Structure 1
Amino acid sequence: MYALGLGVLLLLLKYLEIGPVATWDWWWVLSPFAVAALWWAWADSTGYTKRRAVERIEQRKKDRIAKHKEAMGIRPRKPR
């Protein structure tokens, strides 16, 4: 996601001809988009994206259970 943000920033600077980016070749300006595409391809092919989504779901589930236990007056367990 950082590469995509950097790409948008460099593209804007190149388009508006601001600073030293105005003199750079377009290859340098557009390279963060290629890096972002490679990152997403790698993350999807290795299962990194799915693993992170499952971790987020599990954490939400644990937080919800702890919140309900606290509301019922039961002290949640400390992590081991």
Structure 2
Amino acid sequence: MYLLGLSLVLLALKYLEIGPVAAWSWWVVLSPFAATAAWWAWADATGYTKRKAMEKMEQRKKDRINRHKEALGIQPRKPR
């Protein structure tokens, strides 16, 4: 996501001809878009995106269970 933000900032700077980016080649300015696409392709192909989503769901589940236990007056288990 950071690469996409960098890409958009560089594109805006080049288009508006601001600072030293105005003198750069369009290839240099557009290369972060290619890097972003490569990153997303790699993340999807290796399962990185799905694994992170599952970890986030598991953490939300644990937090919800702990909140309910605290509401019932039961001490949640400490991580081992």
The answer to whether the superposition gives a TM-score over 0.5 is yes
Instruction: Determine the structure 1 residue equivalent to 2:75.
Output: 75
Structure 2 residue runs without a partner (length 5+): none
- Provide TM-score, normalisation by structure 1: 0.98
Please say if 1:40 is aligned against 2:63. Answer: no
Number of residue pairs the alignment of both structures matches: 80
Aligned pairs (5 A) from 1:55-74: 55-74=55-74
Instruction: Determine the structure 2 residue equivalent to 1:26.
Output: 26
Structure 1 residue runs without a partner (length 5+): none
Aligned-pair distance for 1:4?
0.4
The ranges of structure 1 where at least 4 consecutive aligned residues each deviate by more than 2 angstroms after the TM superposition are: none
Letter in 1 for 2:32: P
Q: How far, CA to CA, are the matches of 1:67 and 1:36 in structure 2? A: 38
Q: How far, CA to CA, are the matches of 1:3 and 1:35 in structure 2? A: 7
Q: Could you tell me the percent identity over the aligned residues?
A: 75
- Provide TM-score, normalisation by structure 2: 0.98
Aligned-pair distance for 1:22?
0.2
